Amino acid sequence: MTELMMLTSVLDRAVAADESMPCKKDPELWFAESPADVEHAKLLCQECPVRAQCLAGAMDRAEPWGVWGGELFVSGAIVARKRPRGRPRKNEIAA
């Protein structure tokens, strides 16, 4: 059995066994448009017992978007914060 299949199996068993996981109560919150809702979802992930497995699985699957394992994915990459809709910045800020 490959490592990914084992991880998926562990995550599937954990999800099936624990319906009290925060993502089970309001799944749409993990794909919210509002930056405040996204931050709330990330906060709820912090105490999840399968957080590390969820994040690893999302990285392996190259999830295109949403909150996975307490991290925000946008276009398949982890980003720190979700920007609100609106006009883009006139000048890019150097990192």
Beta strand pairing call for 71-74 and 77-79 = antiparallel
Question: So what's the pLDDT on residue 45?
Answer: 93
52 is in an annotated binding site: no
Question: So what's the pLDDT on residue 92?
Answer: 65
48 is in an annotated binding site: yes
Q: Is the pLDDT of residue 8 over 70?
A: no
Q: Which DSSP helix (H) or strand (E) runs through 65? A: strand 65-68
Residue 87 covered by a domain: no
**Span 35-90, pLDDT tens digits:** 999 999 999 999 888 899 999 999 999 999 999 999 999 988 888 777 666 666 66
Which of residues 24 and 1 earns the better pLDDT score? Answer: 24
Find the domain containing 5 and state its range.
1-79
Q: What distance in Å separates the CA atoms of residue 55 and residue 16, rounded to the nearest whole number?
A: 18
Calculate the CA 95 to chain-centre distance: 24
Number of domains, the chain: 1
Q: Taking the model in full, what pTM does it have? A: 0.66
